[in-house]
Chain A
């Protein structure tokens, strides 16, 4: 039972990460490969706060989100000059630099990470059980979904898609492409960092490997498999791709190669969807990936 709750928590966290990245990738056309780094900034901020200052959940959320947003604004800078491949490579650079900070700074505990993180408190109530933490993660995912839905259906959502299609045209109508791009980055980073907060409190320990380049590639795989520009797709992909490797447990697959097989499966899905079904599982618009 404990394990089922854990898987549920993971699905909720990845759904949040995928939706927040989808706003960048699917709606605004900014294919960033640094989402795991922002998620990590949120996670490390929460962990350091909890170990040293406070494990109040709301304060953790707010300060982690601020940290995530500040870092993401730096990551967002190249988007003003670089497109497609080159923007992706620049974000990959930031991903590597931030990961290297997690790995090598003294304060982040280096390769072994941080552990023994206390349970969070909310209005004086200590949240201990993993089921309560699952409910929190699910609530965050729902909140992220609803906010993203509101944004994409509002006139601002049309503006995002317009930036994706033709930046120059948007600028020529007097809209600030700079403001639009940075707003999306801020939204995306706030939720990614919040996902990091809940990840830390669920696991009560973190190490840098959870926030490396592979993880960023995995999140972008979720966006593409679900369908770039489809919020339902993001949720579906997060659920499917987290659950799928669980099926290995029922098949007679040796313990040693199961993790490798999982990665191969994710790689195959990424190749399959970019090759044969660029609109993803339930996306409609295939030209996001032009």
Chain B
């Protein structure tokens, strides 16, 4: 499969803190890639670089062979990169429909077309019953869905999900996993950051494990869980010997 998104030797520091050091990996078209690692590993920083929120100090990020890094969030959204946020950022004064329309307007100039597209996306994400609710009245799980709906409304090629399943009840998380599969079935490539290994690993085809800003290993879920470096990073040296 051809690589849709290429991350090439990306480094980013904030002050003296190196958040990402020399990170490289490819994401194939249609794949779900997991981005794992303990707290502070640099997962969200990397998302910020890919979505254009920050510019990497070094390295390039290419989407479909074209450079997107350093061009800002508008160019990244236009190129087809969308994201959700670890801490949800709903437009609180707007309804669910209006929230999603903001995303839809990036592809549709007329309000009518944007509204139609937004309705379709809301239905896809299972929020139809809440379309007219103000965003601030949604439950945490619904807010996560809203984040996905809003991002999907920009018709992305790559969707970055930042801890979309964290903090949900097991039933809600299952619904979230189903939504991720549905999004993939639409042909959207997904990179997901997640803490909870047992939730992510069944979902992804490959995972990149970061630790202290560097790539620890890249591989299939089966390879990841056996990798001594991963076990060391998560559980400490004592468990790594086996």
* A and B co-occur in one complex: no
Q: Which residues of A contact B (CB under 8 A)?
A: none
